[in-house]
């Protein structure tokens, strides 16, 4: 005897709700037999079969019913089936059952192939499940659908968010570009497109992954179609063109950026962006000095005219993008540092006012947290605790910290995934490690202050990265320190700047806002570097076996024309010598700059060798061994490159200046016990380079001393360096609690 339909229906629905899909299918089969005219039973029967993994049977169930429908019934029945499937897929997505949600939507597509919203959901799910590619997009027929009609009730944000997800996953398939352009024909709101594209472009740029550079360029160019003066897009496009090696385009866009700026703040940032692009080419030095004078005037105007605007915080790029480039132009910290300190103080005031609803910057400094029953908590904050100069140096401190006496925390900014390198050196050894993908800087500060109660916060990035500056300005720790990165930031909330007896002159405290804390010997140390197999050979470079090889391996921004001239004068003094030139930058422009100066100095261009990038850092270090002498740059010395040169036992000639950027190689040479090659004037620089080139015995003696220094020198004694840093932290904390 059959059960009443109402009872069967209730049991079937209960089984479906409880995910007993086979039982639900069995019960719906009985309902179909008892009430074949109620098509709803067939819809649920197919759904139960689909959810139990019987996709073919589900499809057959629905198609059999629809094929038997009268013409006037098809539309109504289809709408009913779509509603049932839509409810089911919503439930699956709420449970994050993405695979099942994708399967249901695939069947929804069979029933309603022109349902745009469902097709867009399919794209998002396919991306999530890593099933998306150009072929799948083509199978959905989304592009022709968008091209054929206007969707007046379209959720524009949903449409273009889907487009951006697809682009990020499978750019630059031409079918994906066609899909994007079809979406843009839907009369979308320009501000929405700019908002979504600029955010996605910035997010991908911050991944610091060359694979995404072309995507960032494409998204930025989309923004500029709708607003040719959109500043964020112009800035990002310029930096992305540079990352792609398209230097002329980068400079052109940077000039457009400056022209589009309407306020002193924006123009100051724009000038910094343009100057950095110009530096990469090794040309345009007259422009650089003129532009710097303009920026000095803008900085003074900002300081005079500053007023708090609750609707818009000042852009920290005033400090990061716009403040450090002058150090490449001239060695004049007495002028540069006060300007930087001035803008840093204004920015800190502004940032604290904007963050006060989330985090009260004054709380920690007003209420001393003197903890006597726990270890001192040291936090390190940076973007670049990875395979980057900051990571290569800071890793040794993480290794040798005394974890019995200190709790060590690491905070990784703008980090979506932790690499094996970062995990090994900066996550596994420490007390706690936190990665922040893209939160607000106020929330980062709040976490550091309230969740972890850090006592001393150490910024490893300084003004090389905006988020670190933002966080430090809010004073989330009672004691704050800058170590490494690029010089000190000048932010008043930073208490100390780590230095040593050499890297800053005695007079430096006169123009630093931070208290300079000098360690006994060196402000950094490493245990060494991974070294690979060399790929450079004299014969492959067409250099005679008895020739002297000079090497200059630096970023294009450090190629000051006066230093290029000195290096070519060295070649002129030593006829049997060659200069290898290597480093990031606009290769064509740098080659032009060197060859023009070579001609003016009477040096044949065929004595210059321009090298491309090595395949990885270990190979780069191994290839340093081809050099008889490495020639440093000025007014911005090498830093990590100098460490690598000395580790490989290669003599170095450096020109010492007054600013931090002009004294890194000096302190490193002093801390390996080698004074040969330290020059205090341009004339001494040339004299040392010529002397070392001519005196093979002296070069050999320096090489032996450098290799022997690995066992004795402070620069290579990271255990001792860790103790000195910890002593500094302990004394800083003692000073704080004694206030």
Once rounded to an integer, what is the mean pLDDT over residues 405-418? 92
pLDDT of residue 366: 46
Would you give the DSSP letter of residue 210? G
Report how far Cα 702 is from the mean position of its chain's Cα atoms: 38
pLDDT at 3: 61
Tokens read off for 408: 């060590």
Q: How many CB atoms lie under 10 A from the CB of residue 370?
A: 11
pLDDT tens-digit readout, 78-118: 888 889 889 889 999 999 999 999 999 998 998 889 999 99
Q: Is 476 helix (H, G, I), strand (E, B) or coil?
A: coil
- Surface-to-core class of residue 595, CB atoms within 10 Å of its CB (0-12 exposed, 13-18 middle, 19+ buried): middle
Least confident of 408-412, 440-444, 576-580, 647-651: 440-444
User: What pLDDT shows up at residue 365?
Assistant: 44
pLDDT exceeds cutoff 80 at 210: no
Whether residue 438 has pLDDT greater than 80? no
Fold of 374-518: Rossmann fold (3.40.50)
What local confidence, expressed as pLDDT, does residue 209 receive? 64
User: What is the residue extent of each domain of the chain?
Assistant: 1-112, 115-188, 190-260, 286-355, 374-518, 548-716
The answer to whether 636 and 558 have CB atoms below 8 angstroms apart is: yes
Say yes or no: do domains 1-112 and 190-260 share a fold. Answer: yes
How many C-beta atoms surround the C-beta of residue 484 within 10 A?
Answer: 22
Q: Please tell me the predicted confidence (pLDDT) of residue 372.
A: 60
pLDDT band at 669 (very low <50, low <70, confident <90, very high): very high
Q: What is the CATH number of domain 190-260?
A: 1.25.40.10
At residue 371 the predicted structure's pLDDT band, cuts being 50, 70 and 90, is low
Residue 564 token pair: 């290029």
* Confidence (pTM): 0.85
**432-436/496-499 β-pairing:** unpaired
The CATH fold of domain 548-716: Rossmann fold (3.40.50)
Q: Would you place residue 301 in the very low, low, confident or very high pLDDT band (cuts 50, 70, 90)? A: confident
Instruction: Please provide the DSSP assignment of 338-366 as one string.
Output: HHHHHHHHHHHHHHHHHHTTT--TTHHHH
Q: Which residue has the higher pLDDT, 29 or 703?
A: 703
Cis status, amide bond into 143, omega within 30 of 0: no
State yes or no: pLDDT of 70 exceeds 50. Answer: yes
CA dist 194 and 233 (Å) reads 8
Asked if residue 367 has pLDDT above 60, the reply is no
- 725 is written with which tokens? 């840093």
CB neighbours of 547 closer than 8 A, spacing ≥ 6?
Answer: 538, 576, 577, 578
CATH T-level topology, domain 1-112: 1.25.40
What percentage of residues in the chain have a pLDDT greater than 70? Answer: 97
| pLDDT one-digit tens code per residue, 512-559 | 999 999 999 999 999 999 999 999 999 999 999 999 999 999 888 899
Cβ pair 236, 202 in contact under 8 A: yes
Mean pLDDT of the chain: 91
Indicate if the pLDDT at residue 464 is higher than 80. Answer: yes
């Amino acid at each position: 005897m059959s059960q009443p339909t109402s009872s069967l229906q209730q049991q079937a629905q209960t089984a479906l709700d409880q995910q007993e899909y086979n039982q639900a299918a069995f019960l719906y089969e009985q309902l179909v037999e008892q009430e074949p005219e109620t098509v709803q039973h067939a819809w649920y029967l197919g759904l139960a079969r689909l959810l139990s993994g019987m996709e073919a049977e589900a499809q057959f169930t629905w198609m059999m019913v629809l094929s038997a429908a009268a013409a006037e019934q098809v539309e109504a029945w289809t709408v009913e089936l779509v509603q049932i499937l839509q409810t089911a897929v919503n439930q699956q997505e709420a449970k994050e059952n993405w695979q099942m949600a994708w399967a249901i939507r695939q069947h929804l597509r069979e029933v309603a192939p022109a349902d745009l919203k469902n097709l867009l959901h399919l794209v998002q799910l396919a991306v999530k499940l890593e099933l998306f590619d150009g072929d799948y997009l083509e199978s959905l027929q989304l592009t022709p659908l968008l091209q054929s009609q206007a969707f007046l009730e379209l959720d524009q944000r949903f449409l273009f968010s889907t487009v951006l997800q697809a682009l990020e996953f499978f750019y630059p398939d031409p079918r994906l570009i066609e899909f994007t352009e079809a979406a843009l024909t839907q009369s979308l709101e320009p501000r929405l497109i700019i908002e979504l594209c600029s955010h996605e472009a910035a997010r991908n740029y911050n991944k610091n992954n060359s694979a995404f550079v072309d995507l960032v360029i494409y998204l930025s160019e989309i923004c500029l179609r709708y607003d040719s003066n959109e500043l964020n897009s112009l800035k990002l496009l310029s930096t992305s063109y540079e990352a792609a090696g398209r230097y002329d385009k980068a400079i052109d866009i940077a000039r457009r950026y400056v022209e589009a700026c309407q306020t002193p703040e924006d123009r100051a940032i724009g000038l910094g962006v343009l100057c950095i692009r110009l530096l990469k080419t090794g040309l345009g030095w007259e422009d650089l000095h003129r532009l710097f004078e303009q920026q000095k005037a803008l900085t003074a105007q900002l300081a005079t005219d500053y007023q708090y605007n609750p609707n818009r915080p000042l852009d920290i790029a005033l400090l990061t993008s716009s403040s450090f480039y002058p150090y490449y132009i001239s060695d004049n910290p007495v002028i540069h540092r006060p300007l930087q300190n001035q803008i840093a103080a204004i920015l800190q005031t502004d940032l604290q006012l904007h963050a006060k609803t989330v985090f009260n910057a004054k709380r920690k400094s007003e209420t001393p947290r003197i903890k006597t029953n726990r270890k001192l908590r040291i936090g390190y904050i940076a973007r670049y605790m990875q395979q980057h100069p900051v990571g290569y140096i800071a890793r040794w401190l993480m290794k040798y910290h005394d974890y019995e006496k200190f709790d060590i925390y690491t905070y990784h900014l703008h980090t979506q995934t932790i690499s094996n390198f970062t995990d090994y050196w900066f996550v596994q050894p420490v007390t706690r490690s936190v990665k922040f993908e893209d939160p607000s800087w106020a929330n980062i500060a709040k976490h550091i202050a309230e969740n972890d109660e850090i006592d001393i916060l150490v910024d490893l990035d300084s003004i090389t990265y905006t988020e670190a500056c933002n966080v430090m300005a809010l004073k989330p720790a009672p004691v704050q320190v800058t170590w490494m990165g690029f010089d000190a930031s000048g932010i008043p909330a930073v208490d100390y700047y780590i230095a040593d007896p050499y890297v800053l002159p005695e007079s430096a405290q006169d123009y630093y806002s931070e208290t300079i804390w000098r360690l006994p010997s060196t402000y950094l140390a490493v245990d060494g570097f991974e070294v690979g197999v060399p790929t450079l050979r004299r014969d492959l470079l067409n250099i005679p076996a008895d020739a002297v090889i000079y090497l200059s391996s630096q970023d294009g921004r450090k190629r000051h024309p006066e230093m290029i001239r000195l290096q070519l004068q060295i070649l002129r003094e030593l006829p049997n010598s060659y200069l290898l030139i290597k480093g990031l930058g606009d290769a064509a422009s740098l080659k032009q700059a060197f060859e023009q100066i070579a001609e003016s100095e009477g040096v044949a261009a065929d004595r210059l060798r321009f090298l491309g990038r090595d395949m990885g850092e270990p190979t780069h270090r191994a290839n340093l061994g081809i050099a008889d002498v490495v020639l440093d740059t000025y007014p911005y010395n090498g830093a990590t490159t100098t460490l690598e040169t000395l580790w490989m036992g290669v003599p170095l000639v450096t020109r010492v200046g007054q600013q931090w950027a002009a004294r890194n190689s000096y302190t490193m040479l002093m801390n390996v016990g080698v004074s040969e090659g330290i020059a205090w004037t341009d004339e001494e620089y040339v004299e040392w380079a010529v002397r070392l080139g001519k005196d093979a015995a002296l070069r050999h003696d320096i090489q032996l001393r450098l290799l022997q220094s690995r066992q004795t020198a402070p620069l290579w004694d990271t255990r001792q360096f860790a103790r000195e840093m910890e002593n500094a932290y302990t004394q800083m904390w003692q000073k704080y609690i004694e206030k």
